[in-house]
Amino acid sequence: MVRELYPNKELYIRNVRVTILPPNDPGKRLEGFRFSFTIEKTNESNPNTSKIKIYNLSEKTRSVIEKDNVRVIVEAGYQNTTAGIFVGNIIDNGVTHKKEKVDIITEIEAEDGGVSFRNATLDRGFPAGSRKNEIYRALANAMGLPLNIEEGIRSVVRQMFPMVTILSYKQKMCRYV
């Protein structure tokens, strides 16, 4: 009898996807390329950062990445189990291309919520009985960011605030009254 050494092979086949989302454009999902990346996440008040290298993109794809206000999503995992690990905006002058031997390497620097983090404002009152998800959605919309509520916290965001809630947000400031 031959026993298979690694019966759960899907955990050994790594998978990375990078999605490029220019404004008013369906975007471009990049798979099957050679990637390297670093993502720095902190508990500080400034945005998390990512540096992504993608090898040998076409000239057309490189030009899409160079547009203004482009968002980037990095998903990583194994064969059938990838998950989003970074969503952010490419910073100003955050795209470079360099040639090394036969490769063209595109380097991207991004911040999660970078543009939105710096520019968003929201001053809005919510009546008593407003659900938390309404408030979170208003804040996400003001920042131009998607709101992805995981199944495990759906019951929490359905809860209501018993009193009138005023949300004031302007560049790093979020206050509940």
Q: What CATH number should be reported for the domain holding residue 50? A: 2.30.300.10
pLDDT digits (tens, 9 = 90+) for 118-173: 666 777 888 888 877 787 788 777 766 666 655 545 555 555 555 555 555 454 43
Give how many domains the chain has, as a whole number: 2
Region of 93 please: left (phi>0), alpha (psi -120 to 50) or beta: left
Please identify, among 72, 93, 114, the residue that sits at the C-terminal boundary of a domain: 114
Angle at alpha carbon of residue 50, lines to 78 and 137, rounded to 5°? 85
Q: What pLDDT shows up at residue 142?
A: 76
> In this structure, is residue 146 part of a structural domain?
yes
Q: Is the dihedral of CA 100, 102, 104, 105 positive or negative?
A: negative
Task: Say yes or no: 110 and 153 in one domain.
Answer: no
Average pLDDT (88-104) is: 94
CA distances from 173 to 48, 140, 169 (A): 17, 14, 5
Q: What pLDDT shows up at residue 114?
A: 60
The residue type found at 38 is T
* Statement: the pTM of the whole predicted model exceeds 0.75: no
Task: Say yes or no: 64 and 108 in one domain.
Answer: yes
Average pLDDT (24-39) is: 91
Look at 153 and 83; give whichever has higher pLDDT.
83
The phi and psi torsions of 26 (rounded to 5 degrees) equal -65, -15
Q: What pLDDT shows up at residue 175?
A: 40
Domain span at residue 99 reads 9-114
> In this structure, is residue 1 part of a structural domain?
no
Distance, in Å, from the CA atom of 21 to the CA atom of 29, rounded to the nearest integer, reads 9
Q: Which of 25-39, 90-104, 114-128 has the lowest mean pLDDT?
A: 114-128
Distance, in Å, from the CA atom of 51 to the CA atom of 95, rounded to the nearest integer, reads 10
